[in-house]
């Protein structure tokens, strides 16, 4: 009986604090995305626009490591039993990708464009039974600075 109470308490705490943390992170992401909206970013290898006069270009990168909370880990475990989409990990990956791109843009705020954007993901910690604990997302691209 004690084990069930402990499990219920842990799941409740994970749900409550995980929900608050995720909501605050999304709020921060949206605010920062709006501030950096003017910096165009593309996966194309070529700069956007006609007849650009490029003064310099350099590698820009941003990475993030985000962990899944206890409640979502439990939900994902149940989903693995029954099959289907693992939505708890989808939001984890969405936040990680968006945060990595934001950090990339923040690393070169004076750039005129970022081209050749690439994203790399990896699981950096696997808990018991191979469950994902944390994911890392690396965003990298070429920051282009134009002559004025």
pLDDT digits (tens, 9 = 90+) for 60-113: 999 999 877 666 666 666 666 766 676 777 888 899 999 999 999 999 989 999
Is the per-residue pLDDT at 145 higher than 70? yes
pLDDT value of residue 132: 60
Question: Could you tell me the pTM of the whole model?
Answer: 0.82
Task: Report d(CA 112, CA 93) in Å as an integer.
Answer: 27
Cβ neighbours for 86, distance < 8 A, ≥ 6 positions apart: 76, 79, 80
- Residue 49's pLDDT band, with cuts at 50, 70 and 90, is confident
Which two tokens mark 122?
A: 């990896």
Q: How far apart are CA 101 and CA 103, in angstroms?
A: 5
* DSSP secondary structure code for residue 41 in this structure: B
Taking each helix axis as running N to C, give the angle between helix 70-82 and helix 87-106, from 0 to 180 degrees, rounded to the nearest 10.
130
Domains of the chain, CATH where assigned: 2-146 (3.30.110.70)
d(CA 32, CA 91): 18
Contact between 58 and 142 under an 8 Å Cβ cutoff? The reply is yes
């Amino acid at each position: 009986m004690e084990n069930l109470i402990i499990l219920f308490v842990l799941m409740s705490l994970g749900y409550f604090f995980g929900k608050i943390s995720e909501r605050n992170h999304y709020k921060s992401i949206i605010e920062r995305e709006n501030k950096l909206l003017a910096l165009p970013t593309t996966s194309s290898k070529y700069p956007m626009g006609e007849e650009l006069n490029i003064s310099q270009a350099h590698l820009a990168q941003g990475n993030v490591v985000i962990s899944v909370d206890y409640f979502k880990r439990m939900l994902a475990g149940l989903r693995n039993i029954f099959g289907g989409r693992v939505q708890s990990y989808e939001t984890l990956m969405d936040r990680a990708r968006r945060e990595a791109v934001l950090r990339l843009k923040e690393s070169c705020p004076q750039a005129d464009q970022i081209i050749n954007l690439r994203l790399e993901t990896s699981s950096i910690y696997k808990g018991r039974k191979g469950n994902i604990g944390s994911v890392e997302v690396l965003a990298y691209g070429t920051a282009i600075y134009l002559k004025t």
